[in-house]
Amino acid sequence: MEWEAVIGLEVHAQLSTQAKIFSGAATAYGAAPNTQACAIDLGMPGVLPVLNQEVVVMAIKFGLGVNAQINKHSVFDRKNYFYPDLPKGYQISQFKQPVVGEGYIDIQLDNGEIKRIGITRAHLEEDAGKSLHEDFSGMSGIDLNRAGTPLLEIVSEPHLRSATEAVAYLKTLHALVRYLGICDGNMQEGSFRCDANVSVRPKNQKELGTRAEIKNVNSFRFVEKAINYEIERQIEILENGGKIVQETRLYDSVRNETRSMRGKEEAHDYRYFPDPDLLPLVFDEALIESIRASLPELPEQKRQRFQAQYGLSAYDAIVLIANQDTAAYFEQVVNQGVSAKLATNWIMGDLAAALNKDGLEINQSPISAEQLAELLKRIEDNTISGKIAKTVFEAMWQGKGSADEVIAAQGLKQVTDTSAIEKVIEEVMAANPEQLADYRSGKDKLFGFFVGQVMKLSKGKANPQQVNDLLKTKLHG
Amino acid sequence: MHTKTIAELIQGLRAKEFSSEELTRCYLDRIKSFDKQVNSFVTITEEQAMQAAKQADKRLSDGTAELLTGVPLAQKDIFCTSGVKTSCGSKMLDNFIAPYDATTVERFNKAGMVMLGKTNMDEFAMGSSNETSYYGPVRNPWDLNRVPGGSSGGSAAAVAARLAPAATGTDTGGSIRQPAALCNLTGLKPTYGRVSRYGMIAFASSLDQGGPMTQTAEDAALLMQVMAGFDQKDSTSVDREVPDYSATLNDSIKGLRIGLPKEYFDEGLEPEVAKLIQAAIQEYEKLGATIHEISLPETKLSVPTYYVIAPAECSSNLSRYDGVRFGYRCENPQNLEDLYKRSRGEGFGAEVKRRIMIGTYALSSGYYDAYYLKAQKLRRIVSDDFRKAFAEVDVIMGPTSPSPAFGLGAKSDPISMYLSDIYTIAVNLAGIPAISIPAGFINGLPIGLQIMGNYFNEAKLLNMAHRYQQVTDWHKKIPAGF
Amino acid sequence: MSLLPKDVAKVAHLARLALNEADIPKYSENLTNILGFIEQMNEVDTSHIEPMAHPLDAHQRLRPDVVTEHNQRELFQTLTLHTEAGLYLVPQVIETKIEE
């Protein structure tokens, strides 16, 4: 039987505010345990929550970014359950009336096709703290610094059909929240987390299969692996006549498998009800409009513009716009008069590799966009070859000066003087009489040998095109 | 000194008849002598009080004193007081030294008032008799075998016995007004949102409201002036100008329309109480007010409605008491669940557990609509009844409690206890203000007249109460032996 | 609706309350009576009534995104004996936590 996977994602994006959603404690990552947990975050007796205005602005920005209905009247509810990292015994969330309603985003599939993915809703809520399970003489330690950090939970429709689509959706969403400046997107620190609802059904069947919810998938790579594992697991069960149990499963990245959360099967009864300490969140159209006016160019708009304005392929455009800083860097290079294609290749190639190796973000690059442009212009005006440019780039990376300075200092300027190149060719021919004879008797393959020798003798500085042309004439005698 | 009202104490301090230190010492001595009989205090803050009094005297002499500087006050033990145990009448918080002040406490401190101590109360304010306190029942100074009412029973008894000139209370379903009535005091429950709830330990967040418990309406006005006002730390606090409550106390009430809801005078009301309430209303007629019969048809249903909403909110509000970060923690928990269950099982008393369970049940899957949602709808009906009534009348009057103080242990059945709040609960559901004032005695036990007003009409209520107290002297009576 | 002893146990578990076995019949009786009393609410038709969550018809106020609270860990942790290295201690959490 042919099977079809149906996937929906729930993403928790940590909103990048200074203070917490309901208290004035800081949200900075990595502070000593419980030093950023104030009386409100600790759920002390008598304290009360007051909503941070910035989270409202951020939620509206998100709603606009996904073309969603923005609910001008929304309500905060309490989700009640006991857990040591949940100090009040309830989480403040939005259950029946979320601030962001239905919307969508468009993702691009590998075949270049655009697919529209529905967003069911997005709601504001507070994060919980952390339980540390290292042994404190048989106890667990609770750090409540993260408690009360603002989250936007973004729920997609079950419109995704493969792990690849799920990753494309996640990456699109990831780029969007970073463009909007509402989330730093740092997956290692847990600022952008994902749960996946996965089910399978026979192709062409309308009804959805029973789904499993996979928790704890916190990198793009793991999302893909976890979903693929889960799809296969479910198909195998169904093909053997089994039934899928609706349950929560945990992804284990070390063993690459999902496991049932045994012992957690006790049905949760969260007893949601409107939080009486908070009033309905209400705002007017004017606020939405003022936020709309302040929005930056969003990834989708930028992708379209890059393709139209710079003649980039969809693939190149998507890679460049994934990060706002990369896109800006690209545009600065191109604005210096460098061709878009050359700029793209270098930014996505050598620059990305060097940044990655040194663990730097593009805005920390030791080579500025202007400096890279200078280098690339030297390729375009034939001062140096692409190969020599790599040497120059390496020197620039190490802080040995600008492109022109490195070229001058190391004498890397390309030789384009025909007579000079001819002189080198003659030297090579004289030094290799046997190969020359073989070539002339029909061994065409030796042409490469001569190119290599010429380049070697010229220390790579001879213009490769000219070397080719001149060699052909000379070798034929 | 101890028989003086706050208004008189202000005069005395200004005239240097006595210093704040002398005054504070006088009340602390009285607490030491008499509180063994009454059990109205959980904590006496003698040292802090004497220090605050000394400071107040300094302010009084150097001209930086405010109106209430140097006047002593007792705080209900539901208000967090920095560095002082704040127990909420519960074993759960017997070891809780609050690390911050409630906004109300902060305001009184700033005004220079001297806190004498923290008063006993029903556990987590759940009760109408002060018998659910971990610290034992409070006794009514008018008859030590009877209850003072609750949940602010300690505050009521302390002021009735003149162990403090005034006290704070909180009112979720009548917890200021009913004990005020049973102890012959003036007790004002303000409009929801008028007084900050920050640092006031929550019972039912959408119903709780703090207010003054005093000897006179004039004193209540003085305390309200400090308590009322916007607080940015409380999302439900209302940003609205606070009127000068003392300025309008003597306004004429001629032509004012008083509504008498027929449901407040039905067979549930003891005839003796009804007689006293009628007499009080006649006083108002003499003062020029007019009387109109009105109807609040769903009064009876306000009690069941309340007993869904309040427990539902409390079941969630009290989840934070889990033995982890503060409060009672059971010995040797076997595992996490054991820690939760025994800390809570041992730390909470029976009434609190009952209400948590009712609330948990009412919110649980499958029952939400039938209980919680239904109650929220009835809440609107009850509240609309008041809206309609206030289109026709200026204030509504009736009894505060269906009977005078009952005996300790007399109401062992929860429902008969709940029904003692039948006349006070609807006010909390609607969020309107109401005041209870002394209106006479039955066999030496005080009776309270309740006056309900429209939203933010506290000044009108205080005005009505004050005018009555100008022509009667029930409020001046002090229980024998104190 | 009556709350049988087994229902009481279930609700007590949901609310994480340990009850003495011997007290359960009394709770069962009390809670059943209270529920019966509450069910008087059914006398009124509320099908066209909007639920009321709050006494005042007001909206949520917002505060600026400013850090106003600073580290008070030492003070707060005087309220329990069970801390280590700044962490609150609880009996080992055995199950792996599901992010809610």
pLDDT tens digits for B337-393?
A: 999 999 999 999 999 999 999 999 999 999 999 999 999 999 999 999 999 999 999
B246 and B349 share one domain: no
DSSP state of B264: G
* A80 part of contact set with chain B, CB < 8 Å: yes
Omega prior to B151 cis, within 30 of 0: yes
* B233 part of contact set with chain C, CB < 8 Å: no
| Distant-in-sequence, close-in-space partners of B347: CB < 8 Å, separation ≥ 6 | B90, B91, B92, B321, B323, B327, B328, B330
Domains and CATH numbers, chain C: 5-43 (1.10.20)
CB contact under 8 A, B376 and C52: yes
Average pLDDT for consecutive 10-residue bins of chain A (477 residues)? 95 98 96 98 98 98 97 97 96 97 92 92 97 81 97 97 96 95 94 96 93 89 95 95 91 88 67 97 97 95 94 90 93 95 95 94 94 94 88 94 90 82 89 89 88 87 86 83
**What is the distance in angstroms between the Cα of A85 and the nearest Cα belonging to chain B?**
10
pLDDT score for A445 = 87
pLDDT score for B123 = 98
Q: Which amino acid is at A132?
A: L
Cα three-residue angle A320-A325-A327, rounded to 5 degrees:
30
Cα three-residue angle B318-B229-B303, rounded to 5 degrees:
45
CB contact under 8 A, C87 and A132: yes
Cα three-residue angle C82-A78-A119, rounded to 5 degrees:
120
φ and ψ of A460, to 5 deg: 80, 0
Strands B290-294 and B210-214: unpaired
Whether B437 is covered by a domain: the verdict is: no
pLDDT in tens, B88-134: 999 999 999 999 999 999 999 999 999 999 999 999 999 999 999 99
State how far the Cα of A273 lies from the Cα of A268, in Å rounded to an integer: 15
3-state secondary structure of B396: strand
Question: Residue C38 is nearest to which of B235, B307, B322, comparing CB atoms?
Answer: B307
B248 and B356 share one domain: no
Cα B305 from chain centre: 21
pLDDT score for C97 = 44
Chain A contact probe: residue of B319, B321, B369, B373 with most A CBs at under 10 A: B319
Residue B410 C-beta-side C-alpha neighbours within 13 Å: 14
**What is the distance in angstroms between the Cα of C98 and the nearest Cα belonging to chain B?**
16
State how far the Cα of A434 lies from the Cα of B304, in Å rounded to an integer: 110
pLDDT score for C94 = 64
Report the DSSP beta bridge partners of residue B115.
Answer: B73
- Dig out the tokens for B70 from the structure: 């140097």
B229 and B361 share one domain: no
Of B333, B357, B377, the residue at which a domain comes to its end is B377
pLDDT score for B373 = 96
**HEC per residue, A134-150:** EEECCEEEEECCCCCCE
Of B354, B377, B400, the residue at which a domain comes to its end is B377
* Least confident residue range of A437-446, B244-253, B421-430, C77-86: A437-446
3-state secondary structure of A282: strand
Domains and CATH numbers, chain A: 3-288 (no CATH), 297-410 (no CATH), 418-476 (1.10.10.410)
Question: Residue A141 is nearest to which of C65, C76, C84, comparing CB atoms?
Answer: C84
State how far the Cα of B425 lies from the Cα of B263, in Å rounded to an integer: 14
Specify the CATH number for the domain of residue B152. 3.90.1300.10
Question: Residue A141 is nearest to which of C66, C69, C89, comparing CB atoms?
Answer: C89
State how far the Cα of A341 lies from the Cα of A312, in Å rounded to an integer: 7
Question: Residue B357 is nearest to which of C15, C37, C42, comparing CB atoms?
Answer: C15
Distance separating the N- and C-terminal Cα atoms of chain B: 13
pLDDT score for A265 = 45
φ and ψ of B348, to 5 deg: -100, 145
* A positions 124-183 inside 8 Å of C (CB): 128, 131-133, 136, 138-144
Size of interface A-B (CB pairs under 8 A): 95
Question: Residue C79 is nearest to which of B326, B335, B418, comparing CB atoms?
Answer: B326
pLDDT in tens, B197-209: 999 999 999 999 9
**What is the distance in angstroms between the Cα of B68 and the nearest Cα belonging to chain A?**
26
* C positions 22-41 inside 8 Å of B (CB): 23, 27, 30-31, 33-35, 37-41
Whether B173 is covered by a domain: the verdict is: yes
State how far the Cα of A470 lies from the Cα of A182, in Å rounded to an integer: 59
- Dig out the tokens for C8 from the structure: 């009481």
CB contact under 8 A, B338 and C79: no
CB contact under 8 A, C99 and A128: yes
Chain A residues touching residue C91 (CB < 8 angstroms)? 138-140
pLDDT score for C99 = 41
Residue A288 C-beta-side C-alpha neighbours within 13 Å: 18
**What is the distance in angstroms between the Cα of A82 and the nearest Cα belonging to chain C?**
8
Whether B217 is covered by a domain: the verdict is: yes
Chain A residues touching residue C95 (CB < 8 angstroms)? 261, 263-264
Range of B234's domain?
Answer: 6-255+466-476
φ and ψ of A323, to 5 deg: -125, 125
- Residue A210: exposed, middle, or buried by beta-carbon count in 10 A (0-12, 13-18, 19+)? middle
A248 and C98 in contact (C-beta within 8 Å)? yes
Share in percent of chain C as helix, strand, coil (round to 5):
40, 10, 50
B342 and B232 share one domain: no
Chain C residues touching residue A36 (CB < 8 angstroms)? 71
- Dig out the tokens for A461 from the structure: 């500085």
- Hey, which chains touch B, using 3+ CB pairs under 8 Å? A, C
B218 and B312 share one domain: no
**What is the distance in angstroms between the Cα of B204 and the nearest Cα belonging to chain A?**
8
Question: Residue C12 is nearest to which of B350, B357, B414, comparing CB atoms?
Answer: B357
B15 and B130 share one domain: yes
Active-site residue, B82 included: no
Chain C residues touching residue A17 (CB < 8 angstroms)? 65
DSSP state of A216: E
φ and ψ of A90, to 5 deg: -150, 155
Q: Pick the catalytic residue: B175, B315, B343, B401?
A: B175
Whether B441 is covered by a domain: the verdict is: no
* C49 part of contact set with chain B, CB < 8 Å: yes
- Residue C23: exposed, middle, or buried by beta-carbon count in 10 A (0-12, 13-18, 19+)? middle
- Dig out the tokens for A372 from the structure: 């890279």
B92 and B202 share one domain: yes
- Dig out the tokens for A334 from the structure: 């191109």
φ and ψ of A93, to 5 deg: -145, -175
* A437 part of contact set with chain C, CB < 8 Å: no
**What is the distance in angstroms between the Cα of A276 and the nearest Cα belonging to chain C?**
7
Q: Pick the catalytic residue: B4, B76, B189, B460?
A: B76
Report the DSSP beta bridge partners of residue A217.
Answer: A194
Active-site residue, B87 included: no
Cα B212 to Cα B174, B209, B218: the distances in Å are 13, 10, 11
C57 and A107 in contact (C-beta within 8 Å)? no
pLDDT in tens, B155-179: 999 999 999 999 999 999 999 999 9
**What is the distance in angstroms between the Cα of C39 and the nearest Cα belonging to chain B?**
7
A212-217, strands of its sheet edge to edge: A103-108, A114-126, A150-156, A3-14, A192-202, A212-217, A247-252, A257-260
Chain C residues touching residue B377 (CB < 8 angstroms)? 46, 49-52
pLDDT score for B280 = 98
CB contact under 8 A, B96 and A45: yes
In percent, the amount of chain B with pLDDT more than 90 equals: 97
Cα A141 to Cα A63, A146, A293, B273, C85: the distances in Å are 37, 14, 46, 59, 9
User: Can you list the alpha helix ranges (DSSP code H) found in A204-281?
Assistant: 220-239
State how far the Cα of A349 lies from the Cα of B173, in Å rounded to an integer: 71
Q: What is the dihedral of CA B327, B330, B332, B335, to 10 degrees?
A: -90
Nearest CA in chain A to C88: A142
Cα C16 from chain centre: 9
| Distant-in-sequence, close-in-space partners of B187: CB < 8 Å, separation ≥ 6 | B152, B156, B169, B171, B176, B177, B179, B180, B181, B211, B212, B213, B214, B220, B435, B436, B448
* C55 part of contact set with chain B, CB < 8 Å: yes
Q: What is the dihedral of CA B118, B124, B129, B135, to 10 degrees?
A: -50
B28 and B83 share one domain: yes
> Does C100 score more than 70 pLDDT?
no
pLDDT score for C98 = 44
State how far the Cα of B183 lies from the Cα of A440, in Å rounded to an integer: 124
| Distant-in-sequence, close-in-space partners of B148: CB < 8 Å, separation ≥ 6 | B40, B129, B130, B138, B139, B140, B141, B154, B156, B157, B160, B179, B182, B183, B405
B432 and B382 in contact (C-beta within 8 Å)? no
CB contact under 8 A, C53 and B376: yes
Report the DSSP beta bridge partners of residue B258.
Answer: B291, B395
State how far the Cα of B119 lies from the Cα of B79, in Å rounded to an integer: 10
Of B309, B343, B377, the residue at which a domain comes to its end is B377
CB contact under 8 A, B99 and C76: yes
CB contact under 8 A, B232 and A50: yes
* B112 part of contact set with chain C, CB < 8 Å: no
CB contact under 8 A, A45 and B93: yes
CB contact under 8 A, B324 and A142: yes
DSSP state of B319: G
pLDDT band at B398 (very low <50, low <70, confident <90, very high): very high
In sign, the C-alpha dihedral spanning A61, A62, A66, A72 is negative
Chain B residues touching residue A272 (CB < 8 angstroms)? 363
In percent, the amount of chain B with pLDDT more than 70 equals: 100
Active-site residue, B205 included: no
Cα B265 from chain centre: 23
Whether B351 is covered by a domain: the verdict is: yes
Whether B115 is covered by a domain: the verdict is: yes
* A437 part of contact set with chain B, CB < 8 Å: no
pLDDT score for C56 = 86
Please tell me the total count of domains within chain B. Answer: 2
| Distant-in-sequence, close-in-space partners of A279: CB < 8 Å, separation ≥ 6 | B235, B236, C54, C56, C58, C59, C60, C61
> Does C1 score more than 80 pLDDT?
no
- Hey, which chains touch A, using 3+ CB pairs under 8 Å? B, C
State how far the Cα of B296 lies from the Cα of B387, in Å rounded to an integer: 10
**Residue B258: in which H helix or E strand, if any?**
strand B257-261
CB contact under 8 A, B305 and C41: yes
State how far the Cα of C37 lies from the Cα of B417, in Å rounded to an integer: 13
Whether B359 is covered by a domain: the verdict is: yes
CB contact under 8 A, B344 and C37: no
